Amino acid sequence: MPELAAIVTGANSGIGLPTARELARRGARVTVAARDPERGGAAVAGILRDVPGADVVFRRLDLADLSSVREFAAGVDRVDLLINNAGVGMIPRTLTKDGFELQFGTNHLGHFALTGLLLPRLLAAPAPRVVTVASDAHKVGRLDFDDLALERGYGKTSSYGRSKLANLLFTFELQRRARRAGSALRAVATHPGATATNFFSVGPFQPLLKLFLRSAEDGAAPSLYAATSPLIRGGEYLGPRSQPLTPSKAARDEALAARLWDVSAELTGVRFGEFADT
């Protein structure tokens, strides 16, 4: 793989860590983007132990704080590959620093803003890619634009599904806009399958549950394939075996995607430059 500059959000743990490690092993310049400096530094140290001489650094990024997203993006000089991997799930109702429901605000709005702010650097790359980790949980997601804060009803699973539906709608709309603009950017979504990550790290059945979960390394495989394979086409949705999956009807709704894009741009203040009106 030719040398490229890659950013992996949430690369301090879960499937993000083996994703960053393998990209570094293949010669990429990798930025571990994560909220906690201690854990991020430990992730970088671990990658350097496994891949001596790797070009890997940590930079702080809190996707639940748009000021942090802007600060991070302002410090990026080059990016060929952005992997929107970080996420939270199955948590009690909480708000981001900017007042958004946390799962939607982190998993979708934070990554929407990050991608838009990095777009000029992505478009300067010869073959830019944006890989967003979604989930088949998107099939239980519903978007109510009159209650995006979920003040009238909150469910841990349904809220997570809503954020993953937003990830897919965003990916497909980003690809449509890239094509209309004549850009070489490829936007791809992945579903890692149920993996033994922090999502399943608590509860009385956790030791037994892990017997039925894929390893984080296996969970990283679709993201790595989407990031590196020359066969990838923009707008694909890849599953655990890196095979194309069929997203839900809602995820393929172009009108819904366009509305989500406009609402997300309004909420975050990020307009995507030359993709804004395509």
At 141-178, the pLDDT tens digits run: 999 999 999 999 899 999 999 999 999 999 999 999 99
- 262-274 mean pLDDT: 96
Average pLDDT of the residues of the chain: 92
pLDDT of residue 246: 96
**Taking CA 21 as the corner, what is the angle to CA 18 and CA 27, rounded to the nearest 5 degrees?**
145
Query: 110 to each of 61, 138, 256, how far by Cα in Å?
Result: 10, 18, 19
Residues 6+ apart with CB under 8 A from 117: 69, 70, 73, 74, 270
Q: What are phi and psi of 60, to 5 degrees?
A: -75, 135
Residues 6+ apart with CB under 8 A from 162: 103, 104, 141, 142, 143
pLDDT of residue 253: 98
pLDDT of residue 90: 86
Is residue 206 pLDDT above 90, yes or no?
no
Is residue 200 pLDDT above 50, yes or no?
no
pLDDT of residue 174: 98
Confidence of residue 241 (pLDDT cuts 50, 70, 90): confident
% of the chain beyond a pLDDT of 90: 84
Stated pTM of the model? 0.92
Would you tell me how many other CB atoms lie within 10 Å of the CB of residue 225? 18
- 169-194 mean pLDDT: 95
Q: Which of 154, 160, 225, 237 is catalytic?
A: 160
Q: Which tokens is 189 given?
A: 């979504």
Cα 75 to chain center, whole Å?
Answer: 19
238 strand-pairing partners:
190, 244
Region of 80 (left: φ > 0; alpha: ψ -120 to 50; beta: rest) is alpha
pLDDT of residue 2: 52
- 184-188 mean pLDDT: 98
Q: Is residue 154 annotated as a catalytic residue, yes or no? A: no
Higher-pLDDT residue of 208, 112: 112
Confidence of residue 211 (pLDDT cuts 50, 70, 90): very low
Is residue 202 pLDDT above 90, yes or no?
no
pLDDT of residue 278: 64
pLDDT of residue 267: 98
Residue 261 is which amino acid?
A: W
Q: How far apart are CA 142 and CA 232, in angstroms?
A: 28
pLDDT tens digits, one per residue of 221-234? 999 999 999 999 99
Confidence of residue 3 (pLDDT cuts 50, 70, 90): confident
Confidence of residue 218 (pLDDT cuts 50, 70, 90): confident
* H-helix segments, the chain: 16-25, 37-50, 66-74, 102-104, 111-123, 156-180, 206-209, 216-228, 254-268
